[in-house]
Amino acid sequence: MKITDYLTPELMLAELTASAKDEALRQLAEQVAAVVSGLESAEVLTVIKEREALGSTGIGNGIAIPHGKLAGLEEVLVLFARSSQGVEFAAVDGKPVHLIFLLLAPENAAGTHLKILARISRMLKQAEFREKLLAAADANALYDLIKQEDEST
């Protein structure tokens, strides 16, 4: 299972403009709804905010993995976003988040959902990989880095 099975170049945000968590989540929801026909940004936002209410998905080391299950979604979707300035995300280490993977799954895809979360977490544990993502020039370079890392592990 590869992240790039669910992440496309159109689902890349090279630079989030948000500095606060709610604003960042809104931008993520708007981007995924703009790319994937049939998705409404308000519905996506509601699902990921409900999950955030249970506890922050800011896992530390500048990383957040907001996620949720969406009724009517036919396949898993992954969106990647980067913030050079950092987003106050209430991460477990109290530091701003710079790298965000948004994961949306159909309601019946629990196994796939958990496997992708684990794969993203493993990839981002590598400090060298995180640094490469932060230094990438644009969305295409970000996608290429994720694809290369995805294929090597």
* pLDDT surpassing 80 at residue 153: no
98 is catalytic: no
> pLDDT, tens digit, for every residue of 67-77?
999 988 888 99
* Pairwise CA distance, residues 102 & 64, whole Å: 8
Strands (E), 24-142: 58-60, 63-64, 67-70, 77-87, 97-106
Whether pTM exceeds 0.85: yes
- CATH number for the region 3-152 comes to 3.40.930.10
Whole-number pLDDT of residue 37: 85
* Pairwise CA distance, residues 97 & 137, whole Å: 19
Count Cα atoms within 13 angstroms, Cβ side, for 145. Answer: 21
> pLDDT, tens digit, for every residue of 49-59?
999 999 999 99
Choosing from 12, 16, 62, 67, the catalytic residue is 67
- Parse the chain into domains and list their residue ranges: 3-152
